Chains A and B, each alone.
Chain A
Amino acid sequence: MAHVLLVEDDPDTSETVRDMLEFLGHQVTQAANGLEALAEASHLRPDVVLTDLLMPEMDGIEVMVEFGERFQGVPILAMSAQHEAPYLPTAHLLGARAVLAKPFGLEALRSAITTALHSNP
């Protein structure tokens, strides 16, 4: 049971992923973009951040950089529907504990969250 900050601009996808996370027994806070996520994170202190990479305003890469600087130690998971370089590899490079290629199933999500929570960087 963890508190997951979900950053996703597409409302349908956001809802779906929230459903899936809740189904897996996690508490979810949603943010539509990076700025929102930062605002939420500053008072929520999430256990995990799951962020989309292609977003308006502040995209996932920026989110990761910002989080990396402001909230060190919070594990970040990245997801993207764009499988081509450079998005997912870059996320990996920036320290994402795992990357999820959308669409993904419950099992993939479960193992990603587990990785994020139980592995030390």
Chain B
Amino acid sequence: MRVSLFHPKYLGLSALGILCALCALVALVLRNRLDTTIARHRTVQGQVAALERLQEAVGDLEEWMQTRRQGADPLFDQLAHRSRKSIESSLLALRAHAGPRSLAALARMEPTLHLLLSSTASKGLGVGTPEALGPASIHELEGEFRTSLKEKSGELDGLSAALTTLASQAALAVEATLILGASFILGGIWLLTDLHRRYRLAEEEHKAWHRSYFEAANVGILHGEPFNLRLLEVNDAFCAMVGYSREELLSMTVLELDHPEERETDLRWLQAMQAPGGLPFRREKQYRRKDGSAFWAEVSVSPIRDPDGILKMQTAMVLDITERRAAQEAIAEHRALLQHVLDGSDQGYWDLHFPSGAVTTSPRCKELLGIPPEVPLPNLDSWTALIHPEDQPARQVAMEAHIAGASPSFACEARILHGLTGAWKWMLCRGRIYERDASGRPLRMAGTLMDLSERKALELDLARETERYLALFKSLPIPAWMVDRDRKCFVACNEMVESAFGWSEAEFLAFQLTDLIPPELRIASEEALETDRFRVGASGPWPIKCKDGQLRTGMVLSHDLELQGRRGRISVFHDFTDLFTVDQERERHLSEARDFRYALEQGAMITITDADGDITYCNESFARASGYSLEELLGQNHRLLKSGHHPPEFFTDLWDTIKAGQVWKGEVCNRAKDGHLYWVQMSIVPFLNPFGVPHHFLAVRFDISDRKRAEAELLRTLRELEGLLEAVSVGRLVPFRSDADQGTLILGEAALAVLGVDPTQYQKPGDLDVLLDLEGRTRLKNALALVAPGSPATFQARMEGPEGTTLWTRWTILQEGGELRGVIQDVTEQQELEARFRQAQKLDSLGTLASGIAHDFNNLLATILGTTEILGEDPALTQAQRRRIQLAHRAADRGRQLVSKLSTFGRKSTQDWALSDLNHVVHEVATMAGHALPDSIRLLTDLREDLPLTYLDPGQVHQALLNLILNARDALGVEGRITVRTGRERLVSPERLGNRPGGDFIFIEVADDGPGMSAEVQSRIFEPFFTTKATGKGTGLGLAVVHGVVQRHHGILELDTEPGRGACFRIFLPFLPTLAAMEEDAPPAAPRPLGVLMPEGPDREALIELVHRLGREVRPLDPLRSLEGIHELGSVFIHADLAPSILREYQSLHGSESALSWVALGEDPTRGILSASDLRPVAVLPLRPSLRQMLRVIAIL
């Protein structure tokens, strides 16, 4: 409650008080003046009285003196004496009251008075003295007295009047003072009452607040006794907090509620507070609830003291901070964690204060920047200065974007100057503004700094590791695969999977895990998968299904790993199939031993040996062949039969094989007891124990001595033929023997089979008619006659091969002792190759010849043709003469065509590319084909007039077109119509274009109204050697050639057909900017130098000369340093072969929008242009352009 003196109520009261005080002051002043006046009045009264007495005394004295003069009278003397005395006392009194003026008057009167006095004092008075005191002096004195008296009386009157006035005034003032004072006192009393009332109200309010605060607050509040610490009052919130009821709490002390660990501390704090002058305190402590659990609370304890400073009670507010504390702990933990992360990640931490630009950095940050810890922290500017100039713009952009709020955080990779090494290091700086001012300006930003060079190196390492690991995986020599454990599928496998199981990678990866396990094992395998038995480490053996239906059995070794965030597993497969097969074989052997033994023992020699080769069992056959008895053999080592024929390595290999658990098969020479050698074919099967180690070996032998003998003989024969065999490397060899005397051949059945001779036809040896024709027989006879030891005879003969084919054979016969031996070699293929080669050579030489003589022939023909033509025009000729001359003319014309055709053999195909009129080609072909078509088939042409010239190889297009027409003819059969059409079309659809660029195309179409084609035929139509024509009629190459030609021209070949609706082939050729197009809109020429970018050589010289002659400056450019030149000149001739690479480079340097005019030059310029960049040439020219072509091109450069 505040009381203001300026409240109107108090203002009035105050004014009253002030007035009252003023009145009292006035009254006081008046009283003072009254007192002064009264005192003065008294003085003046005294003076007046003294003066009157003095006057009276003087009068007495005068009377005395008069008397004295009249005689002395003692009585009078006495009287005089009294008067004198009276004067003296009056004077004294006068002096005492006299003012200055009165004193001055007295002083004036004094001599007279003294004189008077002294005269009266002398007893002898009257004698002499009274003269001095003349009556004048006394009168004068009297006058003086009167005057003074008069004055004093006046003054006295004035004073009396003033006194009266003052007294009335003072009375008035006192009265006013009294009235005002009374009012003031009354006002004061009212005021006090008012204050009291207000205080009461405020107190009520305060109490209500306090109550509600106390009861309703969510903080616990408790009041306690200061010394015994007993609780006086608690609120409900606290009750709820600690779980006690209010009644229970009021019988407890504060300390009882404390957590045992807290009591001592709490007591210390309380005592400190309770001490005189002790202050309130606040601390966090643990309370114990009724149920014994503890909670954290923030408690504020205040002492309540009375005005004398005596502690009355203490009050505490308790706030449950369990959650806050948990949050704080979490934050602390989080912060510590963050610090760990930052430390662990090798990142530096920084904090930027924007307004000041101050940067706080962690030690690691400084370390990254290469700044020693003792160097002061850099501010933002000095830090920014460390960033590489080239990276500054990116940093600024990123920072501004983040400041503007466009990006959630700031991140920039930049090169930062390392303070110690002075080198640029790639770092990643990331940050985020975490505090902004009210207007959104950034205040603080925190972030990290990371050394990217290390991360990059790490990434590189990781990539390299992964690569190495994958390479290892791929190159494992055994099947290996990777599995996604969550999806239970394969994700990768190596190449060995295909070679081991036959499944291609795609097939294998499509399997579920258990798909490859045979059905009967699938459940087991699934269980194994579930129970991890299939998982890590080795498991198995598992049989895996192969593509060919077989099973491969092996152990699966697995290792779990993380594969791109997925749970993966890498497994390798150790194939033990062979081992298990052997194992199974052993089992089978044991179980079926009896059955087999009987069967085997009939023909086979069987032994069983232990691991060292000691015979533990052998059968009769074996004993019989070896010549030993059974008793002799048992217990003996197998070496007993060693013949010495085989080198030691032979047995090493045998033992290695069988000891590894594998079956060994081979042919072995054994020595019998009597010393003779015999050959056996032997299989040794090891019996394996469960660990795969052989414990016994079963050897099964068959006698092959006879065969061996025959083979030995054959081998000898063959060795004799070795020299011969070396000479012949192609074809099939058929050995034969010949009886020289009879001139016949002895051919085995194998030989006959090779030669394709039916053995039933070859009844008796020497029946050569079946084998050889007459010519062959003659040659054979000659050869047999010629052959001599050391000098073999050979000849070639044509024979009839299987199914009526012709078989070319080379016969070689040699004499050895009295015997004739030989081989027949199938040289059909060789013969055919040679024939074809000879044919090609023939054509080639013909072409060379033709082009050599073409000039002369053309000259001759010129004469004949010219002359006959003119002759034919002679009107004087008879009909018969004209016909004969026309015959001659026609013959000469055929000669001309022949020369022309022959010349093409001598031509190289690349020279044939030319800027050509497609219509012209079509016209030529149509004319030519017209002759090849029967009259019943009509050939129509529909050629578009304004077809632009294009680059093509006329010979090839000729060929392709002809093939299409001839195909159409064959499809039509007897009669029909073939239409050849040319035109122009713009192709944009990717379905038709494939991967070629779209644009303008010209096309040739060959359509027939024949039977059309089925879808099946259509799909195979362009395959080489596919033909629907009768055998011998079609090569199956026609359309393949067409296809090839179209491809060489970067064109498109389309076929539109349906059964019964004819067929239509369409060849699209790319349309390029040509002279025809350039003629239409040639811009005015700008005389600037033209660049020439061509390999050095005659072509370049010719071009330079040509351009020069046309009046333009030429600058040859160095292909290696051409880019500047091209850009500078802007117009350049480029060889088509150089164009793609140069232009790509140019484009990457200057962009595709740059204004470059270039002209492609080349034999097949389309090749270069199509693969070049977006920069299309303004023109395309042949390597040796004509003057006219050049003129037109130069006009636009």
Contact = CB atoms under 8 A, between A and B. Distances in A.
| A and B form one complex | yes
Interface of A: 10, 12-13, 15-17, 19-20, 23, 54, 81-86, 89-90, 92-95, 101-106
Interface stretch (B20-28, B600-608, B853-861, B950-958): B853-861
B269 to A, nearest CB: 116
B873 interface: yes
Contacts of A12: 859, 863
Contacts of B121: none
B870 interface: yes
Given A86-B1184, A89-B1186, A93-B1187, A103 B870 contact: no
Contact of A93 (B856, B858, B1184): B1184
Which residue of B858, B892, B896 has the most chain A CB atoms within 10 A of its CB atom? B858
A47 B1183 CA distance: 33
B1185 A19 contact: no
Contacts of A15: 863
B1188 to A, nearest CB: 7
20 contacts: A13-B863, A13-B866, A16-B866, A17-B862, A19-B866, A19-B870, A20-B870, A81-B855, A83-B854, A84-B851, A84-B854, A84-B907, A92-B1187, A92-B1188, A93-B1106, A103-B862, A104-B866, A105-B865, A105-B866, A106-B870
B867 interface: yes
Given A93-B1185, A93-B1186, A93-B1187, 19 more contacts: A10-B859, A15-B863, A16-B863, A16-B867, A19-B866, A19-B870, A54-B855, A81-B854, A82-B854, A82-B858, A83-B854, A84-B851, A86-B1184, A89-B1186, A92-B1186, A92-B1187, A101-B858, A103-B861, A103-B863
Interface of B: 851, 854-859, 861-867, 869-870, 873, 892, 896, 900, 903, 907, 911, 1106, 1184-1188, 1190
Contacts of B870: 19-20, 23, 106
Contact of A19 (B858, B867, B896): B867
B856 A81 contact: yes
A33 B867 CA distance: 22
A104 B855 CA distance: 13
Given A13-B862, A81-B855, A81-B856, A20 B1188 contact: no
Contacts of B855: 54, 81-82
A86 B911 CA distance: 11
Contacts of A83: 854, 858, 900, 903
B862 A102 contact: yes
A102 B859 contact: yes
Contacts of B900: 83
B911 A85 contact: yes
A103 B854 contact: no
Contacts of B1187: 92-95
Nearest to B889: A105
Contacts of B1106: 93
Contacts of A106: 866, 869-870, 873
Nearest to A12: B863
Contacts of B867: 16, 19
B873 A16 contact: no
Contacts of B896: 103
Nearest to A20: B866
A12 B856 CA distance: 12
Contacts of B903: 83-84
Contacts of B1186: 89, 92-93
Contacts of B1188: 92, 95
A102 B869 contact: no
A86 B1106 CA distance: 15
Nearest to B895: A103
Given A13-B863, A92-B1187, A93-B1185, A81 B858 contact: yes
A18 to B, nearest CB: 10
A81 B1190 CA distance: 25
A38 B911 CA distance: 34
Contacts of B1190: 93
Contacts of B851: 84
Contacts of A90: 1184
A-B pairs, 6 with minimum CB distance:
A81-B858, A103-B862, A16-B866, A102-B862, A103-B861, A92-B1186
Contacts of B858: 81-83, 101-103
A20 B869 contact: yes
Given A20-B869, A23-B870, A106-B869, A89 B1184 contact: yes
A15 to B, nearest CB: 8
B873 A23 contact: yes
A16 B871 CA distance: 11
Contact of B865 (A89, A95, A103): A103
A15 B867 CA distance: 9
A19 B873 CA distance: 12
A92 B907 CA distance: 21
A54 B854 CA distance: 13
Contacts of A10: 859
Contact of B862 (A16, A86, A94): A16
A12 B862 CA distance: 9
A17 to B, nearest CB: 6
B854 A105 contact: no
Nearest to B1182: A89
